[in-house]
Structure 1
Amino acid sequence: MPVSTSVPDEGVAVVTVDYAPVNALPVRGWYDLADAVRAAGRDPGVRCVVLAAAGRGFNAGVDIKEMQRDPGHEALIGANHGCYEAFSAVYACEVPVVAAVQGFCLGGGIGLVGNADAIVASDDATFGLPELDRGALGAATHLARLVPQHLMRALYYTSRTATAAELHAHGSVWRVAPRAELRAAAMELAREIARKDGTLLRLAKAAINGIDPVDVHRSYRFEQGFTFEANLSGLAARIRDGFGGANPTHEREPTQEQGDPA
């Protein structure tokens, strides 16, 4: 299944996304991911959730081809709502969420990891928002949780990516591991968290979310309004239709079915 849940260790649920070829999610995929994360968090036997992905990259955002096939705005609206639900599910998950990130983490991937409680990344992982190259806006809310404000703005305006090592230096990535050891490193952190009392962990998650300086739900929803404006004006479609062109700053990014986080 494209989104699956397993419980490899007591107290730890692993939600895995597998949408070949680059984990660019269709509308249904974002909702399925949201449902899986919420269900795992509600399970009284789960004390930590690991969010992982199969394949060469963690997430490439929205499936642009799905939008291009839609003559109207139904796919855009669906993607916007689906991303909002998935990002919210990670943030509001009743227990801590550890993101295990390999390869590329772009667009919607930033929304997921930016709302996670901790990030473990492979040494080949890169993080970025190629939104302006895809005719979209959004997820600056979540990138701002990973890097300082001025760096966030520079990355956003240029569509450049940051490496796992750079994010580790900023303190937003807990640990960088060789790719072959990524899942083990994420599980090590998850097991340590899961050794705590489940009820107290749920209280801690609610308390920490309650003191967050930025309301991520409202902030991201505000950004989405500008994505709608870009699409309704026709600007987004013109940029999106030509997104496959060569760009030297994106050499390590996927070139198929990747998109914006809507």
Structure 2
Amino acid sequence: MQNNLIKTEIADHIAVVTMTNPPVNAYSREFTEELIEVFDELNDTPDVRVIIITGQGKIFSAGADIKSRGNVGEIKGETYRHLRRTREVANCIMECNKPVIAAVNGPALGAGMGPVTNADIILASDNAFFALPEIDIGLMGGARHTMRIFPHSLARRMILTGYRLPAEEAYRRGIIEACVPLDQLMEEAMKIARSIASKSPKALSLAKRAINTVETMPLRDGYRFEQNLTVEMTRHEDSKEAMRAFIEKRPAVFKDEA
């Protein structure tokens, strides 16, 4: 990994991915390409069972780098390459075969909400807020991802007015799992990450496949899909180890391979 604009630390099966593109972790071309590369590599890292993504400084991410956008349309085809890169920031997190926790350390704006709305679990500091300011800066985008996890009226209010949703309100509405003081945010995220990291990598991989697949499937088809994954899990050694550990009343010892 490059570790230039995206810093990655791995310990105890947990990868902490920190966006470090000061002053506001904006999405430059180099930033987006490196972030995608990091998640692609973590997908192929057997020792990693869970990922936390957070930001350095006072802002999680301000989204699009407006200053650099001014040159996007000047190079033939660059507009579409830029849009593709931006899409993939969300996709590489949503499609990650490892659980992803977003520890939102400050404002998440526009495209900067991509890692938030596509993470599996969301926590935020009490100074954070969520907003889609595109309506005020001549852009569009982010509606579909936001509407997937935000309530109908609230999502539309954010899209049409640029309303800044405080983290405390997001927690009250059940959109995020926790709203804590900034100095407690990473420890709260680590508590959840440690719990996830204690599970079977194979079970986590199958659970992520189920989560990402059944969300858009009819009930009957989705449940059948999950049952097929259950059959696959029972044939794995980790399943047998989990059952033995349960009977013997001891912690299970799993393989690192999924």
Q: Could you state the TM-score of these two structures normalised by the residue count of structure 1?
A: 0.77
- Show the counterpart of 1:103: 106
d(CA) in 1 for partners of 2:72, 2:210 = 42
User: For 1:184-204, what per-residue CA distance to the aligned partner results, in whole angstroms no more than 9, with x for missing partners?
Assistant: 111111111111111100000
Match of 2:97, SS state, is coil
Report Cα offsets for 1:16-45 as digits up to 9, x if no partner: 111111111202211210110121122111
1:88 CA drift (Å): 0.5
Cα distance between partner residues in 2 of 1:70 and 1:110:
21
Which gives a bigger RCO, structure 1 or 2 (Cα 8 Å, sep 6+)? 1
1:135-154 superposed matches below 5 A: 135-154=138-157
Over the matched positions of the two proteins, sequence identity in percent amounts to 35
Does the CA-based 8 Å contact 2:16-2:52 persist in structure 1? yes
Query: Deviations along 1:57-103, whole A, 9 cap, x unmatched?
Result: 00101111111245525553333111111110000111110001011
Structure 1 residues 234-249: aligned runs within 5 Å? none
Tell me the alpha carbon deviations over residues 192-247 of structure 1, each in whole angstroms, 9 at most, x when there is no partner.
11111111000000011111138xxxxxxxxxxxxxxxxxxxxxxxxxxxxxxxxx
- Alignment equivalent of 2:204, drawn from 196, 201, 208: 201
Aligned to 1:35: 37
Unaligned runs of 5+ in 1: 215-262
The aligned amino acid for 1:77 is: Y
Confirm or deny: 8 A CA contact 1:6 1:13 kept in the other structure.
Answer: yes
Paired with 2:83 and 2:102, the residues of 1 have a C-alpha distance of 22
Instruction: Name the residue aligned to 2:235.
Output: none
Q: In terms of Rg, which structure is larger?
A: 2
Q: Where do residues 60-209 of structure 1 align in structure 2 (5 Å cutoff)?
A: 60-70=62-72, 72=74, 75-209=78-212
Which sections of structure 2, spanning at least 5 residues, go unmatched?
Answer: 218-258
SS at match of 1:138: coil
Q: RMSD in angstroms over aligned alpha carbons?
A: 1.5
Name the TM-score, length of structure 2 as normaliser. Answer: 0.79
Alignment size in residue pairs: 213
Deviation string, structure 1 residues 129-160 (Cα, Å, up to 9, x no partner): 00111211111112113321111001110011
What corresponds to 1:252 in structure 2?
A: none
Residue of structure 2 equivalent to 1:51 = 53
Q: 1:243 aligns to what?
A: none
